[in-house]
Amino acid sequence: GGFIGSLGKISLEKGRLTQVKIVDVYDIDGQIDDRKIKITQPKFLSDNLKTDYLHVRDANYSPSFPESAERIKNLYTQVTDETVDGVIALDLSTIEGLLKITGPVFLPTFNETINENNIFERAQFHSEAAYFPGSAQKKTFLSILGQQLIDNVFSLDKKKYLDLIKEVKKLLGQKHILVYIPEEQAIVSQLNWDGRILNSTNDYLNVVDTNVGSNKSNYFVERSLDYRLERNSREGEYLSELRISYKHNGTSDAWPGGPYKNFLRVFVPKKTALLKVISSENGSSEEGSDITGKTEIGEDLGKTFFATTFTVETGKSTTLVFTYVLPAGTIPLPENRYNLTVQKQLGTRNDGFKLKFKLPFGALLNPMPENFKLFGDTIEWDGDLSEDRSFDIPLKQ
């Protein structure tokens, strides 16, 4: 769901890389404006970005990457009349990971050495701080860096090949690299490298942030999730409480920081019933503001979603608490197991995640799930969402 800043067209022939061409996304989007290509966009983009129709830079809004990739591919082709075979998404973590393997890259044109620790700051400097209308500096910087990084990868010492393979595999597993190649999509999907929304037979959770503040402030924001649930009725309904906490660690409102304006979507099982949404600065669900009336409820991608827009000021914290009832049958009766699929948001790092499951009356664990701890009648898992998580809790009466 990240903002697209640059596009690179890569050409291969018989497995050999023959061309790498980096373009600023505004070069493409400017042609969309000039040619008046009008593609309808979601209302939340129109309301927050004050644009009338879709641009490539904002086309990555779907939580399902194959949907976004197809949209990006079609827009690119409309503008350039060039067909492409697929779309691969890379984020900052990918560049940092490659630099960790290749070592620093020296760019003589800029008399700078780029490494995994300064890539964000230097890329932002050349993209924004030193930018002026008509400037090719951003495109030049990324083109030179991209080409040099590719050269360094292909000229790696053979002793580092295994490290490179491990790093790329990790980046794919953690959804920092996403792959959409329609002719090969069955294989890509089987490997879970395509960032699609996963099917789930029982409980499901996917929390998706979209920065609509026209800055890069989410780089400075920590997010953590706390999900707890317990049996709510004899019919098998479960009461769920999801606490999403944001801490803005920025120290200035200057670019690329500033207030974090976020359009939040929470995807849950279809036909889930929302009861209440509370927003507070201290994490209390009793002392916060009730924003249930400002929360949209809808269906998309085979799930129900709850959506709302809010702002976290620089140096502040905000917690949103969603209380909802899972539909009867989400956890089959007679209860023999609880299953939860939690998808990490594409491109995020290591969001904290806690799961607290209160055992139904009379239920016993059979056996204790791995990495859980028992506290009275509640079992807890405490970890992160560096990758998708699947939880399976076997029960017996």
Orientation angle between helical segments 137-154 and 92-102, nearest 10 degrees: 50
CA–CA distance, 121 with 382 (Å, rounded to integer): 32
CA–CA distance, 38 with 52 (Å, rounded to integer): 8
Q: Which of 123-137, 248-262, 341-355 has the highest mean pLDDT?
A: 341-355
Percent of the chain residues topping a pLDDT of 90: 66
Indicate if the pLDDT at residue 335 is higher than 70.
no
Tokens matching residue 93: 């973590």
Work out the average pLDDT over 3-15: 87
Task: Tell me what pLDDT residue 358 has.
Answer: 93
Indicate if the pLDDT at residue 334 is higher than 70.
no
Can you list the alpha helix ranges (DSSP code H) found in 215-311?
none
Question: In what side-by-side order are the strands of the sheet with 203-211?
Answer: 296-300, 303-312, 260-268, 203-211, 337-343, 389-396, 364-365
Task: Tell me what pLDDT residue 135 has.
Answer: 54
Tokens matching residue 330: 């989400």
CA–CA distance, 379 with 352 (Å, rounded to integer): 17
* Residue 207: count of CB within 10 angstroms of its CB: 25
CA–CA distance, 124 with 117 (Å, rounded to integer): 13
Average predicted confidence (pLDDT) for the chain: 90
Indicate if the pLDDT at residue 137 is higher than 80.
no
182: preceding bond cis by omega (within 30 degrees): no
Higher pLDDT, 3 or 371: 371
Give one word for 131, left, alpha or beta, with left for phi > 0 and alpha for psi -120 to 50.
beta
Task: Tell me what pLDDT residue 138 has.
Answer: 61
SS3 category, 346: coil
Work out the average pLDDT over 214-228: 92
Q: Is 296 exposed, middle or buried (0-12, 13-18, 19+ CB in 10 A)?
A: middle
Indicate if the pLDDT at residue 241 is higher than 90.
yes
Q: Are residues 216 and 240 in contact, defined by beta-carbon separation less than 8 angstroms?
A: no
Task: Tell me what pLDDT residue 139 has.
Answer: 63
> Cα–chain-centroid distance for residue 21?
26
SS3 category, 50: coil
Work out the average pLDDT over 50-73: 94
- Please report, as a single letter, which amino acid is at residue 288: G
Work out the average pLDDT over 94-121: 92
Task: Tell me what pLDDT residue 397 has.
Answer: 63
Q: Which of 126-130, 313-317, 366-370 has the highest mean pLDDT?
A: 313-317
Percent of the chain residues topping a pLDDT of 70: 94
* Residue 108: count of CB within 10 angstroms of its CB: 8
Question: In what side-by-side order are the strands of the sheet with 373-375?
Answer: 289-290, 273-280, 317-326, 238-248, 221-231, 352-358, 378-384, 373-375
- Residue of 228, 239, 202 whose CA lies nearest to 394: 202
CA–CA distance, 114 with 120 (Å, rounded to integer): 10
- Residue of 317, 306, 299 whose CA lies nearest to 207: 306
- pTM to 2 decimals? 0.91
Task: Tell me what pLDDT residue 285 has.
Answer: 58
pLDDT tier for residue 314 given thresholds of 50, 70 and 90: very high
